[in-house]
Amino acid sequence: MSGTYHKPRKRFGQNFLHDEHVIHQIVAAIAPQPQQTLVEIGPGQGAITRLLIDACRELHLVEIDRDLVARLHSIFAQYDNLHIHNVDALRIDFCTLSSTQSLRLVGNLPYNISTPLLFHVMENIECIEDMHFMLQREVVERMAAMPGNKDYGRLSIMIQYYCQVEPILEVGPESFTPPPKVDSSVVRLTPHKIKPVKVDDFFSFSKLVAQAFTMRRKTLRNALKNLLSAEQIASCDVDPGDRPDVIDINAYARLANCYAKGSRV
């Protein structure tokens, strides 16, 4: 690794992983294979990159910091299978990175943009085999939460619509430079081959779930009153008196399909 020091930049949410034990645990969980194409989001100073690059066919790095891009070019100059993209991960079309096979995504995602970045990645889900992301532990708990759990919400439903969620490793602040003020977790996301629910119109589904959780302490009758009447909610075999955080993804799909059809009771 280059001896030059890179000062972590707060605006990019930079916390560099340095714990060798954790690094090896993450790479072991990913288990990269020689025929695969991997994409690493936010490679930082290459702590994980150096273990991935020899283990896969192609490795794409997505890094917004120009100084880090120059550093990565210097460190890994001898590798022909490496492609470095100096772009914002929120703007890249991941599916353009490989036309021949599904991508495996890896990343220590910047915590300040983790939720919008997750939703952006889901827009590219058709070309993704799986994902292994380091995130704030609270975000992973929300992604994996089930109905009735205090962490259950919009993120839980939308991510679980796309993927199986599997938390695999907890990581303390001391494993990073600088140490973040939160605990972290590594999560494995595996896209469903068949979606867990049938949604007639995805926009309606997304809109209804978002609306429900803008007022998560209200009843569905009140939270969804601009979209569905209490009678319509009941016609979907959902109790209008329930709160948004106690009904499952199947119920949300039924409500969204009712909303999409514009049905009236």
Task: State the amino acid at position 42 in one-letter form.
Answer: G
Rounded distance between C-alpha atoms, residue 17 and residue 183, angstroms: 13
- 46-85 exposure pattern, b = at least 16 Cβ within 10 A, e = fewer: bbbbebbbeebebbbbbbbbeebbebbeebbeeeeebebb
| 237 burial via Cβ count (<10 Å: 0-12, 13-18, 19+) | exposed
CA distances from 92 to 136, 149, 222 (A): 22, 34, 38
pLDDT digits (tens, 9 = 90+) for 224-261: 999 999 999 999 999 999 999 999 999 999 999 999 99
pLDDT at 28: 97
Domain with CATH 3.40.50.150 in the chain: 10-191
Q: Angle, nearest 10°, between helix axes 202-212 and 154-162?
A: 150
* CATH code that applies to domain 202-261: 1.10.8.100
Residues in the chain: 265
Domain with CATH 1.10.8.100 in the chain: 202-261
Average pLDDT over residues 64-84: 94
Superfamily of domain 10-191 in the CATH hierarchy? Vaccinia Virus protein VP39 (3.40.50.150)
Q: Are strands 37-41 and 16-17 parallel, antiparallel or unpaired?
A: unpaired
pLDDT digits (tens, 9 = 90+) for 177-208: 888 889 999 999 999 999 999 999 999 999 99
Average pLDDT over residues 105-124: 93
Does residue 74 surpass a pLDDT of 50?
yes
Average pLDDT over residues 138-142: 97
> Above pLDDT 90, what percent of the chain?
83
pLDDT at 14: 61
pLDDT digits (tens, 9 = 90+) for 87-112: 999 999 999 998 878 999 999 988 88
